[in-house]
Chain A
Amino acid sequence: MSDQSKGRRSLWRAAVVLIIAACCYEAAARSGYFAPALMPKLSAVAQTFVVMLLDGTMIEHSVSTLYRVLFGFFLAVLVGLPIGILMARFRPVESFFLPLVSALMPIPSFALVPLFMLWFGIGNLTTILIVFYAATFPMMFNTWSGVRSVNPLWLRAAGAMGADENALFWKVIIPGASPFIITGLRQAFLRAWIAVVGAEMIAASDWGLGWVIFDAKEFLNTDVMLAALVVIGGIGFVFEKLVFGSLEKRTVQRWGMSRVAKG
């Protein structure tokens, strides 16, 4: 009972804090100390947001960004997952890829943006490749450590029950590594989402949420910028909590395996 009332108090306080923060911002915006172009009123931001939503531009921007991020992300899964598995299962694959991965991983994906712009021009291809680069390594790395950490006892038990290589792989190794694989998916998407916004600022033209906020800076459209920020945060939140959160809830958490994959 006390837990519940504590939770309610937190919720209540959170609401108060947010309202106060909003009021402070609004007061600063209306005080006239700052140029309205730099610090638009909340009502102006809300209005811009609604207008852009209704005339479809915000949706168009979101769709372009989502297309790039999902394309790159799936490409990364398609490449990272099998390589991660192969690395864990076969020594030569591991000793070939591991040094490359450890050398490439510390290079931030943005460092490649100018290079890719030279090679592939401005637009979808460059942004998708940047997303792909950013998302592949977390996918690969987590899959690799996940498959390696599959409890040998499960393999023995399954072997004793007559599982062949094929069944061992699909029914034991993959589910056994799933806490790590899901962590990999989650991290990969997080990186992809950061990468797409950054890449769009530099290397996209006309469409995309990253491009919008950067373009808005040129014309001091701070309201547009803030509206786009809300959308970026919202989409990131939806994927993190709803997509990956529910995936985790339905698999790893239901199986009581979530502790294993933390960190």
Chain B
Amino acid sequence: MVPIAINNVTLEYDTPAGKVTGVKDVSFDIGASEFVCIVGPSGCGKSTLLNVIAGFLAPAAGDIRIAGKVVTGHGMDRGVVFQDFAQLFPWRTALGNVSFGLEMKGVAKEERDKIAREQLRLVKLEKFVDAFPHHLSGGMQQRVAIARALAYNPSVLLMDEPFAALDAMTRDDMQTLLADVWRETRKTVIYVTHNVAEAVYLADRVIVMSAHPGTVQADIRIDLPRPRDPLSVEFLDRQKQLMRHLGHKVSGNGAAH
């Protein structure tokens, strides 16, 4: 059975000017423990698609099946990490944020503290267990968000440009960290980004989308050995290949950074 199947998903939204098709007739499958990046110019509906998979939006046509079950709303089988740092609850410590999902599941306090600490160790924040979000840097907050999404052990991790608001240096560190976390946890990851290098660094497979309306333009396998070297010739080759796919539709290299 295919872990995630996206079948002919179409999504529309209402604007003052009338109905606009955001995503049109998108289909692809994702295998177990696969790391898939969705790349595309802004307005191609990649975030919208992720929100449909997360169950925050309902598609106008088509459906999404996870382990054979149609997605109708959000569920504990998926963890979500957003771009905005504000996603953490400011009134809870790092530990409190990470253990929220477990609390909802009804896990006993001692047990959930143990798991949450373990998750924070995984993202290298064991020293900041009792810190409130506003005392943490942007990169640290996003790490807490990742630990939080992993803590209740969902099989799928959905990430919506989680590092886009970070500075370049922190972003590099975070990518390395995420690759490590993924290697350890082996979750299925769907990762939305507009950064081509990031996609090549992280993904097993890259879905390239084009805009107006959002459709799948290419589905490319990245079979470079891990850990990947962003300065190797093969890495740059893949990057160029992706950019050609994007440049075709976008004209120029607007989506390349």
Please give the residue numbers on chain A whose beta carbons come within 8 Å of chain B beta carbons, in ascending order.
Answer: 151, 153-154, 156-164, 167, 171-172, 175-176, 178, 251, 254-257
> Which one, A151, A161, A178, A256, contacts B100 given CB within 8 A?
A161
> Which one, B78, B89, B103, contacts A175 given CB within 8 A?
B89
Is the beta-carbon distance between A160 and B100 smaller than 8 angstroms?
no
How far apart sit A154 and B80, CA to CA, in the bound complex (Å)? 12
How far apart sit A255 and B91, CA to CA, in the bound complex (Å)? 5
Is the beta-carbon distance between A153 and B76 smaller than 8 angstroms?
no
Known: A153-B84, A162-B101. 18 other contacts (CB 8 A): A154-B87, A156-B80, A156-B82, A157-B80, A157-B89, A158-B89, A160-B55, A161-B76, A162-B76, A171-B100, A171-B103, A175-B92, A176-B89, A251-B91, A255-B90, A255-B91, A256-B133, A256-B134
> Which one, B82, B91, B133, contacts A157 given CB within 8 A?
B82
Q: Which 4 residue pairs of A and B lie closest in terms of their CB atoms, listed nearest first?
A: A256-B134, A161-B101, A175-B91, A162-B104
Interface string of B85-114 (1 = CB under 8 A from A): 011011110000000110111000000000
With A162-B76, A172-B89, A257-B90 known as contacts, the answer to whether A156 contacts B56 (CB < 8 A) is: yes
A residues less than 8 Å from B89 (CB atoms): 154, 157-158, 172, 175-176
How far apart sit A157 and B159, CA to CA, in the bound complex (Å)? 12
Please give the residue numbers on chain B whose beta carbons come within 8 Å of chain A beta carbons, in ascending order.
Answer: 54-56, 74-76, 78-80, 82, 84, 86-87, 89-92, 100-101, 103-105, 132-135, 148-149, 152
Is the beta-carbon distance between A160 and B91 smaller than 8 angstroms?
no
A257 to chain B, nearest CB (A): 5
How far apart sit A254 and B90, CA to CA, in the bound complex (Å)? 9
How far apart sit A255 and B94, CA to CA, in the bound complex (Å)? 11
How far apart sit A164 and B76, CA to CA, in the bound complex (Å)? 12
A160 to chain B, nearest CB (A): 4
A residues less than 8 Å from B80 (CB atoms): 156-157, 160
Is the beta-carbon distance between A255 and B134 smaller than 8 angstroms?
yes
A23 to chain B, nearest CB (A): 47
Is the beta-carbon distance between A153 and B82 smaller than 8 angstroms?
yes
Is the beta-carbon distance between A256 and B90 smaller than 8 angstroms?
yes
Is the beta-carbon distance between A151 and B86 smaller than 8 angstroms?
yes
With A161-B101, A162-B104 known as contacts, the answer to whether A257 contacts B91 (CB < 8 A) is: yes
23 A-B pairs with CB atoms under 8 Å apart are A151-B86, A156-B80, A157-B80, A157-B87, A157-B89, A160-B55, A160-B78, A160-B80, A161-B104, A162-B101, A162-B104, A162-B105, A163-B104, A167-B103, A172-B89, A175-B89, A175-B92, A176-B91, A255-B133, A256-B90, A256-B132, A256-B133, A257-B91
> Which one, B56, B90, B148, contacts A161 given CB within 8 A?
B148
How far apart sit A87 and B193, CA to CA, in the bound complex (Å)? 39
How far apart sit A138 and B88, CA to CA, in the bound complex (Å)? 29
